[in-house]
Structures are given as structure tokens and as C-alpha cells.
Amino acid sequence: MFTFTFPQLLQQLANGVTVGCLYALVAIGYTMVYGILRLINFAHCDIFMMSMYFCYYAITVFSLPWPIALVLVVVATAVLGVIIEKSAYKPLREAPRISLLISAIGVSYLLENLATVVFTGVPRSFPAVGDMQEILTFGEVRVMKLAIYAPIIMLVLLFSLLFLINKTKTGMAMRASSKDFETARLMGINVNKTISMTFLIGSALAAVGAVIWGQRYPQIQPFVGVMPGLKCFIAAVIGGIGNIKGAVVGGMLLGVMEILIVWRFSALSGYKDAFAFIILIVILLFKPTGLFGETFVDKV
């Protein structure tokens, strides 16, 4: 019989929510790009990885104070995202979708291999940022301050993003472009600028996610983004890809479920990475387009 105390449950939930927030932040990037370009941006996980290296260089190598470092990291990552969009995706605007996907895989390979050449494959340890790694004790529950910060950061960013999308001109341009490029252009929207904006925001959020991720899993190597990236993409699919709120719900759901399952069935911890896929497949069986996804409508 599986018995547990309430503090234990709280402990696990706190862990789950922290991981869930990380998934959510990166999943938003996947879902935004998908929403506008219908592209699974395979390179997003490597943008995440690069961001971790940026942070490592800013704090560990150049010893910048963390607030300055953080700003620089977010800016650098956002710029990287836009450069990738301009060089690898923009030329393929009219090309078949699969070419775009291959281009994304190409970027992903390029970033991973470039990182291997430039940063070498030797794992580095991620620096502590601020007091996020300090331990807080509430009775029997011990968590990093991160567990408090992560949800706050995530929610603040989420609501700013939702405000941007629903209440500003830029957001309106994004919503219009995600429906139809041609019509959006006719309405006077600069579609290319809007797409760049999307990459900028998505990458910036990935940077924030990367910094928090590094606090919890403080090791960097060139392929560090692959597994988290895949899981965040899964989170986005669970929520219904293209839907921002869905990405957040999917991320939280995935994070909490993963932690709880490993806790409950500790004998199966070897299968930890498989849980995400099982959750995904089970959800898709009941909701073939995710929890909040638009259903396919084939016009006959």
C-alpha cells in the first residue's frame, strides 16, 4: 500500500509545479511559432541550450552581476531567435511546409554542432542566479526559493503575453497573421515583422525558462536542450498546439504528472522519460487535437 503524509504530497506538488512552469515557458515558444508558421520549430530546444551557455558565459566567465547578466541573456537569445527566423525560415515562406521543417532540423543540427565546436562537449555547471537555489523550509517541506519564483515569473510573463496578444496592435497583427498571411497583408500588416516578433518573444521566454531550468538541473552540454525541448513540445501538443493557454496548461499538467508518477511508482523511475509520451498519447486518443486545439475542419 502506498502511504504518504500531507507534507510529502506538498513537497512533490511543489516540485511538479516548478518543473511545470519550466515546461510552460518553453512550450509557449513552440506553440507561438506553430500558431503563426505551422512549423514545429525543432531548433527551439537548441535556442534554449544556447541560452544556457549565454548565461554561463555572462555569470561564470565574465562575472557579471546576475540582473545584468539576465537581461543580456534574454536579449541575446531573442536576437538569436530572430536571426534564425530571418536566415533559415524567411526564405522558405512560400515553400512546402516540409522544407521549413527540414530547415528547422538543419538549424538544430547546426546549433548543436556549433556549440560542440565552440563550447566543447565538456559539461559545464550552470551558475546560481540570485538566491533561487536557496532552500526554504516549511515544516517538513523543503524547497528551493525557485519553487516560489518560478510560478510567479511564469504567471507574470503569461499575463503580459496575453495582454500583448489580445490588447495591442502587435498582438492583433499576430492573431491576424496566424489565420491567413495574404489577408493579413491586405489589411496592411507587415507579416514578416510580425513573424520576427513571434520568434523574439518565444526565444525570450525560452531564455527565462533556460535560466530557471539551470537552477534545477545545473549542467550544460551541447545536447542539453534535446529532451526538455521534446517534452515542452509535447506539453504544447497536449494543450493543443497553437494555443498559448493550452501550452501553459499542458506544461503544468505534464510537469506535475511526471513528478507524481515517479513518486508514486518509484520502481518505474527508469521509465521516467516515457511517462510524458504515454500521457501525450492517452490525451490524444481522447482529444485528437489536444485539450484546447482547434479541430480540423476539412471544407468539402
HEC string of 100-141 equals: HHHHHHHHHHHHHHHHHHHHCCCCEECCCCCCCCCEEEECCE
DSSP string, 242-293: T-HHHHHHHHHHHHHHHHHHHHHTGGGGGGHHHHHHHHHHHHHHHSTT-SSP
| Element (DSSP H or E) covering residue 144 | strand 141-144
83 counts as binding another protein under rule CB under 8 A? no
- Phi/psi at 187 (5° precision): -80, 5
1 counts as binding another protein under rule CB under 8 A? no
> Least distance in Å: CB of 200 to another protein?
21
267 counts as binding another protein under rule CB under 8 A? no
Interface with another protein (CB under 8 A), residue from 71, 91, 138, 179: 91
Interface with another protein (CB under 8 A), residue from 61, 105, 155, 187: 105
Count residues binding another protein (CB under 8 A). 47
98 counts as binding another protein under rule CB under 8 A? yes
288 counts as binding another protein under rule CB under 8 A? yes
Pick 105 or 156: Cβ nearer another protein: 105
Separation of alpha carbons 296 and 212, rounded Å? 36
71 counts as binding another protein under rule CB under 8 A? no
266 counts as binding another protein under rule CB under 8 A? no
| Window contacting another protein (CB under 8 A); options: 155-163, 168-176, 182-190, 232-240 | 232-240
DSSP-derived secondary structure letter, 241? T
| Sign of the dihedral through C-alpha 202, 203, 207, 209 | positive
Contact 100, 89 (CB under 8 A): yes
| Sign of the dihedral through C-alpha 165, 166, 170, 172 | positive
116-135 binders of another protein (CB under 8 A): 116-117, 121
Pick 15 or 108: Cβ nearer another protein: 108
For 142, the 3-state DSSP assignment is strand
Contact 216, 19 (CB under 8 A): yes
> Least distance in Å: CB of 170 to another protein?
26
Query: Which residues are near another protein by CB under 8 A?
Result: 34, 40, 42, 88, 91-92, 95-96, 98-99, 101-103, 105-110, 113-114, 116-117, 121, 226, 230, 233-234, 237, 241, 270-271, 273-274, 276-278, 280-281, 284-285, 288-290, 296, 298, 300
